[in-house]
Amino acid sequence: MKRTPVDAVTCVHSETSTGVLQDVAGYAEVVQEFDDVLLLVDCVTSMVGSPVETDAWKLDFAFTGSQKALALPPGLALGVASERMVERAKTLEERGAYFDVISFLTATTKFQPTNTPAISLLYALEVQLGRIEREGGIEARWKRHDAMRRRVEAWAPEHGIKFLPREGRHSWTVSCLRLPEGKHSKDVVGALKQQGWTIGAGYGALKDSTIRIGHMGDHTVAALDELLPLIARALE
């Protein structure tokens, strides 16, 4: 950024195709050295499933969707913008429509939507937030997701399986695992499907050699304890 001026740095906090959890707090420390550079973060699969400290990390924009760790149907986009982001947006004449944070902010102060809202999803969000609060709050939800990640971390080495991301960068909501030599993701995914379970293969060059286990939302360690032995059996 010292060599080439930029307006913003963008990153994905929890990257689902590789299972990598980025050091967003570290990125933020670097970006904060530049007064005119914003940090915009895709938290679609991390928010609510792992810590996202928008104020403490000084994120300028962070957003998520209702369909991931919130465990709701798709259709809602939820975001938070910093004062720096809002002030920058005010200087732009052509902000578009979908990501015009000024129009969103103006509507919010009037308790109004910017367009026709998905009423049913807003009711669903209210119910889910109440459930999260009754279960111990956001920290308890983080703890459950962390426990699921740790469960997969403990299981994988016992079966000759390695995580694709390096140690310390494993996503709390999805585990991307390298299969043992000679094993094919299509066979594992197919075997699980026949038993009523859905996991994913990798993407692109990783399609055949990796599998992805989503453990987010309302999933539990108990469910993983049912799933993992079935994966082990499919690898025999």
- Sequence-distant (≥ 6) Cβ neighbours of residue 183 within 8 angstroms: 235
Judge whether 69 and 216 are in contact, CB under 8 Å. yes
Q: How many domains does the chain have?
A: 2
Residues 78 and 145 in one domain: no
Model confidence over 175-222: pLDDT tens digits?
A: 999 999 999 999 999 999 999 999 999 999 999 999 999 999 999 999
* For residue 45, pLDDT beyond 90: yes
**pLDDT at 3 (0 to 100):** 77
Residues 52 and 86 in one domain: yes
Distances (CA, A) of 64 to 44, 80, 158: 4, 9, 34
Residues 114 and 156 in one domain: no
Model confidence over 109-134: pLDDT tens digits?
A: 999 988 899 999 999 999 999 999 99
Residues 167 and 56 in one domain: no
Residues 158 and 114 in one domain: no
- Which domain-ending residue is among 110, 134, 158? 134
Distance CA 110, CA 182 (A): 60
Establish if 3 belongs to a structural domain. Answer: no
Residue-number span of the structural domain to which 12 is assigned: 8-134
**pLDDT at 150 (0 to 100):** 98
Residues 115 and 227 in one domain: no
Establish if 1 belongs to a structural domain. Answer: no
